Amino acid sequence: MKALLFSETPENFNRLSSMLKKLGLDIHGISFSEVKADYIYLANERLDYPSIVKAFEELGNKLNPDLYVFSSTKLGKEVASRFSQRTGLPCLTECLSVEIDGSSIIATRYSLGGKTLMKIKTDLPAVIAVVADAFEIEDFDFKMEKVDFEIKEADGINVISREEKRREKVGLRNADVVVCFGRGVRRKEDIELIEKLAEKLNAEIGCTRPISHDYRWLPEERMIGLSGEKISPKLLISIGVSGQIQHAVGIMNSKTVIAINNDENAPMKEYSDYYVIADLYSLIPELIKLL
Amino acid sequence: MKIAVCVKEIYNLEQVKIIRETREPILDVPKKLDDLSKNAIEEALRIREKHGGEVVAISAGSKDLKKTIKEALAMGADRAIIVSEDFQSNAENTALILSKILSKDSFDLILFGDASSDEYSAQMAPRVAELLRIPQITYVREIKEISDGKIVCIRDMDYYYETVESNLPCVVSVTNEINEPRIPALKDILKASKKPVDVVSLNDLKVELVNPYQILENLAPEIDRKQEVIQGDLKEVVKQIVEVIRREI
Amino acid sequence: MGVIDFPKNTVLTFSDEEELFRESVKEFCERYIAPNWIEIDKKAEKSPMEIPLDLIRKMGEQGLFCIPCSEEYGGQGGTYTMATIAIEEVAYADPSVALAVYALLNIGWPFALELFGNEEVCQEIIPQVAKGKAFFGIASTEPQGGSDVAGIKTRAERKGDVYVINGEKTFISGVGEVQKLEWGGGWFTLARTGGEGHRGISAFALLARKNGKLAEGWESTIYEDIGRHGLTTGGFKLTDFEVDSKYLIGEENKGFYHVMEGFNLARIVVASATVGATRWLLEQAVEWFRTRKLFGRSIASFQGVSFKFAELYARWEAARYFVYRASRLADKIYIEKDPLYKPKDLNVPVALAKNYGPETCVDLAEEVMKWYGAYAYTKESPIFRAWLGPFSYVIGAEGAQNIMRLIIARDIIGREYLR
């Protein structure tokens, strides 16, 4: 069986090609840089959906793959959806795992806002957008054949400018200890308190969506949750986090969770091993002293 | 400007409870307009305030939609066109229904939320744009300008911001950071019941529904946390936390 | 949080508009009230004049005041049931009930003013109250007591086009607010214009401050309350306070009857506030039961706890029925003006609601404090705030509990048998 893969970053590409290889697929992939695949269609960088959809159509017609795969980034999802509508193939986005079952695939994805995990089956050929973070890059014996390929410009939209997001290198995903905070921290200045604690514990700092996206106190790559990082530390200390399900799905794989909250009944309790009811402003300084 | 806003009704997720033994969700809860749909309506209303015109809320959903759609009208949409009957709900079918409704009229701009808070699939805007053969600008965080039949938006992508221009008509999906949706006041709610709601049937639309997906299961992930409460004297609390920390790292 | 959902119901039902309105109020409260109520209560506990003016303004913009008042007077053109819904939700978000009481006073009394007051005065006051720029409540209690409304001593003498008022009012809500809000405000006030007893009393719209200007002859004090600090309580003295005769509400010497109708209206929303706070308390209890273990078992597995909970839950549902039964009746009388229903039909339904709502709330608060244990006795826990706030309505604000019982007994058994 054959997969046609696209991802705008080599890292996501390689995670997904490893995942697909494990399923026993031959991997044809469009990439802007050197990546791991059986057939690498090294292409000029184009990030507008009309061109990528067109390229997929063209290559798809030639290769007749069983599975069209994108990383479940915003670009990946928009291309997957439009391509699927054009071709009439079924499409699943935000997939957390994929398996092949005869002439079908079975994918899992969150449903009901993260309250449930849905297992869903559809016939091949199909289009999927997969959360690349869920997979590790592994060493497989890829054929690594390079094919020159051009993504031709297609009509649709006119990109005027593009501004890279400044992305810090954040080691949240592989951290042993994570300190995560939410809206219980009232002012931007108070982050210092969190930083001191993190320093003592040699921990990475993470946050909930309002902190990174609404207040912009921390860069987006520190956001933990459904649309951000998914972490699996030995210890998570969660401070002033109410525990909305969209956040909780990002911490499910933590080994031990300590939550500190002044609301004795925040949903966060359900996701904690130790639920500390206290005012973070009086507790954290004391905690720092004792560590 | 003639603006269509495609909105979605979802279960009130806060009220969805899980049966502990079977991990099944209990879906016998009221429905509401999705929060991201409200961002789209809010943006449409702001465009109308600036450029004049009409805002039409469009949706395909269950029988409850006749009630849910009033939220959109109370916020300020001028009228609504809905399909309100039980049908096999999936992205393909909804996109088809919406595009059939949309193509009966000529809208300059078609707004969506970038995804829905329940399924987070983010397929609808691109699918509808494809069916209507018009461009899409997804994940819009700011609409910069609308003039001379063109729209300029700033998109918030994973790794970059992108300023994009498109001719109208065009499909735009917005992120929840684009605005804070207004909360309708009582007066708006009372006015909403007098606004026209056009209920169209699937029969009239002549859509052929498909069902390519089979849901094998949909269960809550297992959460197995100790949930031990620590509280009381601050010194004691701190001591206990330190113990846990020492044990775990 | 939705721990306690409204049970499915075919008796206590709401229209689509009413449900939509409840959702919109809920959303407003989740955004602006629930995250701030503890801070507001704490701040005003230290200094009572720390009034949440911004929030009051926002509530005004959202249309949470003067809900049943007509749109021509700047009201929301809603029903009394809509008002009852709003107050229930505001109190659920702020179980100290301070903001709910602020809102309910500015619903009940402007509406009573609209029922009996003259048009010019309504046009002057109601739009300001609706926008959150003025306060309009009730001032009837005097130093010698509150329950004996017929025995008030404040006097109003007519001199040409004005009444000159002398006297003193105590335990009055809003004394701070009228001084701090942009426009000002005042009260539905009673003063004696005739002889002894209830037939010698008139009602006035007494404005202590308007257009930002304080009236002459009005001297105030602010009290330190034990709860619901977000709303001020105080007293004022009237010394040769002049009121233009247009501010007379209804007919001269009929003030007692007018104020009793006003009290009936206000009591419905008072009861609704306590029903809202009760729901918050029930949720605190349920969440606690679901996580708290004692001697290795869930504390709700002790029937001493769960039976008590069941009893109080039942009282909450009953109180809600009483409240909405009364508000539907108020709609028949005052909104739909259905001739089949008379103002006096409200007496018993309102007394039931006002008797039952606050007592259920306070009894539950006390139990929840016990279930929580020592933590609830610290100021870290917010539960005592949902106890001491609603407690004001067990003591007597808007009518003492025994007066409610008296009304019920009098109407059911017959006045002559109670003498």
Whether B75 has a pLDDT exceeding 90, the answer reads yes
- Considering chain A, what percentage of its residues have pLDDT values greater than 90? 75
Q: Do A262 and C287 count as a contact with CB atoms less than 8 A apart?
A: no
Per-residue pLDDT at A129: 97
**Is B159 at the interface with chain A, CB within 8 A?**
yes
In chain C, what residues touch B32 (CB-CB under 8 Å)? Answer: 23
Which pLDDT tens digit goes with each residue over C219-261?
999 999 999 999 999 999 999 999 999 999 999 999 999 999 9
Span of A94-98, A262-266, C279-283 with lowest mean pLDDT: A262-266
Name all chains with 3 or more CB-CB pairs below 8 Å to chain B.
Answer: A, C
C291 near B CB under 8 A = yes
Q: Does C115 share its domain with C152?
A: no
Q: Which residue of C has its CA nearest to A261?
A: C380
Domains of chain B, start order: 2-210 (3.40.50.620)
Q: Which of A 69-108 lie inside 8 A of B, CB atoms?
A: 73-75, 77-82, 84-86, 90-94, 106
Owner of token pair 């790292």? B249
- pLDDT of res. A17: 97
Q: What is the pLDDT of residues C264-276, one digit of tens each?
A: 999 999 999 999 9
CB contact under 8 A, C291 and A269: yes
Residue found by looking up tokens 């995990």 in the block: A117
Query: Is residue A178 a part of any domain in this protein?
Result: yes
Residue B12 sits at the chain C interface (C-beta within 8 Å) = yes
CA distance C95 to C98: 8
SS3 letters for chain B? Answer: CEEEEECCEEECHHHCEECCCCCCEECCCCEEECHHHHHHHHHHHHHHHHHCCEEEEEEEECCCHHHHHHHHHHHCCCEEEEEECCCCCCHHHHHHHHHHHHHCCCCCEEEEECCCCCCCCCCHHHHHHHHHCCCEEEEEEEEEEEECCEEEEEEECCCEEEEEEEECCEEEEECCCCCCCCCCCHHHHHHHCCCCEEECCHHHHCCCCCCCEEEEEEECCCCCCCCEEECCCHHHHHHHHHHHHHHHC
Q: What is the pLDDT of residue C95?
A: 97
Q: What is the pLDDT of residue C2?
A: 62
**A155 part of a folded domain:** no
Q: How large a percentage of chain A has pLDDT more than 70?
A: 99
Total number of domains constituting chain A = 2
Is the pLDDT at C55 greater than 90, yes or no?
A: yes
- What's the rounded mean pLDDT across residues B194-214? 95
C9 occurs within a structural domain: no
Do C88 and C231 reside in the same domain of the chain? no
Q: How many CB pairs under 8 A join A and B?
A: 227
As a whole number of angstroms, the distance between CA B246 and CA A39 comes to: 49
Residue A233 within a domain: yes
The C residues from 31 to 70 touching B (CB cutoff 8 Å) are 31, 62-63, 67
Under 8 Å between Cβ of C171 and C233: yes
Q: Which residue of C has its CA nearest to B187?
A: C76
Q: Chain B contact for C28, CB < 8 A?
A: yes
- Note the pLDDT tens digit of each residue in A79-135: 999 999 999 999 999 999 999 999 999 999 999 988 899 999 999 999 999 999 878
Name the 3-class secondary structure at A260.
Answer: strand
In this structure, which amino acid lies at residue B234? L
DSSP readout, A188-241?
GGGHHHHHHHHHHHT-EEEE-HIIIIIS-SS-GGGBBSTTSB----SEEEEES-
The b-or-e profile of C149-170 (16+ CB within 10 A means b, else e) is: beebebebeeeeebbbbbbbbb
Contact C20 B71 (CB under 8 A): yes
Cα separation, B189 vs A111, in Å, equals 31
The reply to whether C82 touches chain B by the CB within 8 Å rule is: yes
Q: Which of B157, B166, B237 sits opposite A276 (nearest CB)?
A: B237
For the residues B235-247, what does the mean pLDDT come to? 91
C144 and C56 co-located in one domain: no
Band of pLDDT at residue C395, cut at 50, 70 and 90: confident
Across the interface, whether the CB atoms of B186 and C375 are under 8 A apart is answered no
Size of interface B-C (CB pairs under 8 A): 58
Confidence of residue C288 (pLDDT cuts 50, 70, 90): confident
The C-alpha atoms of residue C309 and residue C285 are separated, in whole angstroms, by 8
Q: How many domains does chain C have?
A: 3
Distance from CA of A165 to the nearest CA of B (A): 5
Q: What is the mean pLDDT of residues C361-366?
A: 97
DSSP A55-85: HHHHHHHHH--SEEEEESSHHHHHHHHHHHH
Same domain, C263 and C388: yes
Does A284 score more than 70 pLDDT? yes
Residue-level pLDDT at A227: 75
| Nearest by Cα to C106 from C81, C75, C78, C149 | C75
Subunits that touch chain A (at least 3 Cβ pairs < 8 angstroms)? B, C
State the greatest distance between any 2 C-alpha atoms of chain B, in Å, as a whole number. Answer: 70
User: Does some domain include residue C345?
Assistant: yes
Give the residue on C whose Cα is nearest the Cα of A271: C291
Q: pLDDT (tens digit, 9 = 90+) per residue, A35-64?
A: 999 999 999 999 999 999 999 999 999 999
What is the domain range of residue A237?
Answer: 172-290
Interface residues on C facing A, Cβ-Cβ cutoff 8 A: 1, 283-284, 287-288, 291, 375, 380-381
Which residue reads 């936390």 in tokens?
B241
Domain holding C76: CATH number? 1.10.540.10
C-alpha A152/C-alpha A59 separation (Å) is: 12
Quick one: which H or E segment has residue A108?
A: strand A104-111
For C408, the domain range is 255-418
pLDDT at B178 over 90: yes
Q: Looking at the predicted structure, is the pLDDT value of residue C1 above 60?
A: no
Q: Do A115 and A205 share a domain, yes or no?
A: no
pLDDT number for residue A83: 98
What is the pLDDT at residue C290?
A: 79
Could you tell me if C245 and C276 lie in one domain?
no
Q: Using one digit for the tens of pLDDT, what is the confidence trace for C127-139?
A: 999 999 999 999 9
